[in-house]
Amino acid sequence: MKHFYLKRALFVLVLLFTAIISKAQSNDELLNLLIKKNLLTQQEADSLRSDLALKEQQKRDKDRENQHNLFIGSRALQISGLVQARYQGFAQSGVNDAFDLHRARLDAKGNITDQWSYEVYTEFAGTTKLLDAYTAYKFADFLKLQAGQFKVPLGYESLVGDAQLDFIDRSQVVEALAERSKDVIGNQNGRDLGIQVSGSFAKVSDRYLFDYTFGVFNGAGYNATTDNNNHKDIAARLGVHPLKGLDLGGSLYEGEDIPVATTKVPNPVTQARNRYGFDARYVTGPFSITTEYLHGTDASVHRDGWYAQAGYFVIPQVQLVAKYDTYDPSKIVTTDRSIIYNGGVNFVFNKWTKLAVDYLYKHEETTQIKNNIIEAQLQIAF
């Protein structure tokens, strides 16, 4: 009798799996087959049909709402934005203190169905730029497919949203090696055109132990009409979360790209542009600590840098932050390392608005000028 029920259960599972994968049989056909095999009674089948019909109707109602009742705040269309007004005071003579609009962004995103989602993210400060434009399909928590223009999965800080940064500026090594302002391929805001898969797996209690991302990109940066060479770049990142509040990560990037032309190299050619890095972050209560190391190879030039930062909320509205930030643009040259000691305070008025004040004390081996900076930035993110 025990083997009979085991065989019966296995048979039902095989039939259900086959029906889900192939979709060759309708629900009614499957239920009729189970009745014929004496694995379900007519009453049980009728009950299942009723439940399935109710779920299908609920799904149709949800899809109909998504398609025809688009409004701000719905699951199909969510509008958000970011405005950061900044003041910079320079200790260096000949450089004018000034106000500027650091970022002014508008974000439109949503879920058309439970699986399909999209995002269109635009920068309006300075020259208008399209930052993100992609669509994604989520098969399950462990598998999501994404295609379009979006952030390259390299490092930790480059992937943090601009509104969530503890400091006004990103670290030197991130700006130099993660397709940002000082990268050899120019400022791409950490983004590129391509396709990637990602997901999380091995869930324990309320968190996943691992998450991964693997992508293939042009390597020519964002808003490029075509690739500038026939080689495709790859990027991968693995995150590990062994303890609550502790996040560890490793990243790898391998590509061939054409650097931005300079007076020294007016006609650059395709060269290797490879990266790897490690990062760690721990948050407990009001205290957080983060560190990251990145190494880059551009042609035959090796570069690297790292930072370590800590933050503490004295009260829920006031956070003190400090960072040690160092970057070496060439491992061959021994006198070109730059170190920045960054200290600041964040006044968090509510979940939308924040005032950040940072002081950057710079020590650069290649220059002896006094070029420290004090910055203040008022942010609203909605």
Whether 198 shows a pLDDT value over 50: the answer reads: yes
pLDDT value at position 366? 82
- What are the pLDDT digits (tens) for 314-329? 999 999 999 999 999 9
Whether 262 shows a pLDDT value over 90: the answer reads: no
How many Å apart are CA 213 and CA 155, to the nearest integer? Answer: 12
Whether 77 shows a pLDDT value over 70: the answer reads: yes
Residue the block writes with tokens 């009260």: 315
How many Å apart are CA 306 and CA 302, to the nearest integer? Answer: 14
Mean pLDDT of 180-198: 96
- What are the pLDDT digits (tens) for 270-314? 999 999 999 999 999 999 999 999 999 999 999 999 999 999 999
DSSP code for 260: P
Across 112-206, the runs of DSSP E, i.e. the strands, are 116-123, 129-140, 143-151, 191-204
Nearest to 154 by CA among 215, 248, 257, 236: 236
pLDDT value at position 46? 77
Whether 380 shows a pLDDT value over 70: the answer reads: yes
pLDDT value at position 14? 45
- What are the pLDDT digits (tens) for 7-58? 454 444 444 444 444 443 466 777 777 777 777 788 777 777 777 766 665 6
Whether 237 shows a pLDDT value over 50: the answer reads: yes
Cβ-proximal residues to 216 (8 Å cutoff; 6+ apart), any chain:
194, 195, 196, 232, 233, 234
- Partnered with residue 201 across adjacent β-strands are 210
pLDDT value at position 243? 94
pLDDT value at position 62? 56
How many Å apart are CA 159 and CA 162, to the nearest integer? Answer: 9
- What are the pLDDT digits (tens) for 217-231? 999 999 988 898 899
pLDDT value at position 15? 45
How many Å apart are CA 15 and CA 29, to the nearest integer? Answer: 11
Residue the block writes with tokens 């006004």: 168
Whether 66 shows a pLDDT value over 50: the answer reads: no
How many Å apart are CA 261 and CA 184, to the nearest integer? Answer: 9
- Partnered with residue 246 across adjacent β-strands are 243, 282
Distance of CA 248 to CAs 42, 55, 286, Å?
54, 40, 19
Mean pLDDT of 116-142: 97
Ordered DSSP codes for 210-259: EEEEEEEE-SS-TT-SS-SSS--EEEEEEEEEEETTEEEEEEEEEEEEPP
How many Å apart are CA 280 and CA 190, to the nearest integer? Answer: 20
How many Å apart are CA 123 and CA 135, to the nearest integer? Answer: 19
Share the mean pLDDT of the chain: 88
Domains and CATH numbers, the chain: 2-63 (no CATH), 79-381 (2.40.160.10)
User: Six-digit token pair at 107?
Assistant: 């974000």
The residue ranking higher by pLDDT, 52 or 330, is 330
CB 30 within 8 A of CB 19: yes
CB 317 within 8 A of CB 349: yes
Helix (H, G, I), strand (E, B) or coil at 347: strand
Confidence of residue 98 (pLDDT cuts 50, 70, 90): very high
pLDDT value at position 60? 54
Cβ-proximal residues to 50 (8 Å cutoff; 6+ apart), any chain:
none
158: left (phi over 0), alpha (psi -120 to 50) or beta: alpha
Mean pLDDT of 190-208: 95
The residue ranking higher by pLDDT, 370 or 357, is 357
pLDDT value at position 24? 36
> What sign results for the dihedral spanned by CA atoms 240, 242, 244, 245?
negative
Confidence of residue 357 (pLDDT cuts 50, 70, 90): very high
pLDDT value at position 327? 98
How many Å apart are CA 172 and CA 329, to the nearest integer? Answer: 10
pTM over 0.75: yes
Dihedral angle computed from the Cα positions of residues 37, 38, 42 and 43, in that order, rounded to the nearest 10 degrees: -140
Strands 207-217 and 233-243, sheet pairing? antiparallel
The residue ranking higher by pLDDT, 69 or 52, is 52
